[in-house]
Amino acid sequence: MRRAVLVVNPFATRVTEERVEAVRAALERGASVETLFTERPGHAVELVEAVTDVDAIFVFSGDGGFNEALNGADGDVPLGFLPGGGTSVLPRVLGLPRDPVAAAEQLGEALAAGRVRRISVGRANGRRFGFSCGVGLDAEAVRRVDALGRTHEGRRPGDLAFARVVAEMVLERRGRFEPVLEVRGLGRAAFALVANADPYTYAGAVPIHAAPLAELEGGLDVIAPTRIRAAAVARILAYLLRGRGHERAPDILYGHDLDRVEIVCDSPLPLQVDGEDLGDVERVECVAERGAIQVLA
Please tell us whether the domain made up of 127-290 is placed in CATH 2.60.200.40: yes
Residue 297 identity: A
Which DSSP string do the residues of 147-162 spell out, in sequence order? Answer: HT---TT-PPP-HHHH
Using an 8 Å Cβ cutoff, are 289 and 123 in contact?
Answer: yes
More confident residue, 184 or 86: 184
Cα–Cα distance, 58 to 5 (Å, whole number): 6
Tell me the pLDDT tens digit for each residue of 233-289.
Answer: 888 888 888 888 887 888 999 999 999 999 999 999 999 999 999 999 999 999 999
CA–CA distance, 84 with 64 (Å, rounded to integer): 10
CA distance linking residue 167 with residue 144, whole number of Å: 12
Determine the Cα–Cα distance for residues 106 and 87; give it in Å rounded to an integer.
19
| Element (DSSP H or E) covering residue 139 | helix 137-147
Whether the upstream peptide bond of residue 199 has omega within 30° of 0, thus cis, is yes
Report the chain's terminal Cα–Cα distance, integer Å: 20
Residue ranges, comma separated, of all CATH 2.60.200.40 domains in the chain are 127-290
Closest to 284 measured CA to CA, from 144, 188, 183: 183
Helix/strand/coil for 35: strand
Q: What is the identity of the amino acid at 281?
A: V
Asked if 210 and 223 count as a contact pair (C-beta separation under 8 A), the reply is: yes
Report the predicted TM-score, pTM, of the whole model to 2 decimal places: 0.92
φ, ψ dihedrals at 277, nearest 5°: -75, 120
Query: Quick one: which of 195, 214, 210 has its CA closest to 241?
Result: 210
Higher-pLDDT residue of 168, 267: 267
200-246 pLDDT, tens digit per residue, is 999 888 899 999 999 999 999 999 999 888 777 888 888 888 888 88
**What is the spatial distance between Cα 183 and Cα 174, in angstroms, rounded to a whole number?**
24
Our measurement of the distance from residue 152's CA atom to the centroid of its chain's CA atoms, rounded to an integer in Å, reads 25
Q: How many CB atoms lie within 10 A of CB 282?
A: 12
Domain 2-114: assigned CATH number: 3.40.50.10330
Nearest CA to 74 out of 292, 295, 297 is that of: 292
Portions of the chain given CATH number 3.40.50.10330: 2-114
Amino acid in position 176: R
Identify which has the larger pLDDT, 147 or 149. 147
Q: How many other CB atoms sit within 10 Å of the CB of residue 242?
A: 11
As a residue count, the chain comes to 297
pLDDT at 231: 79
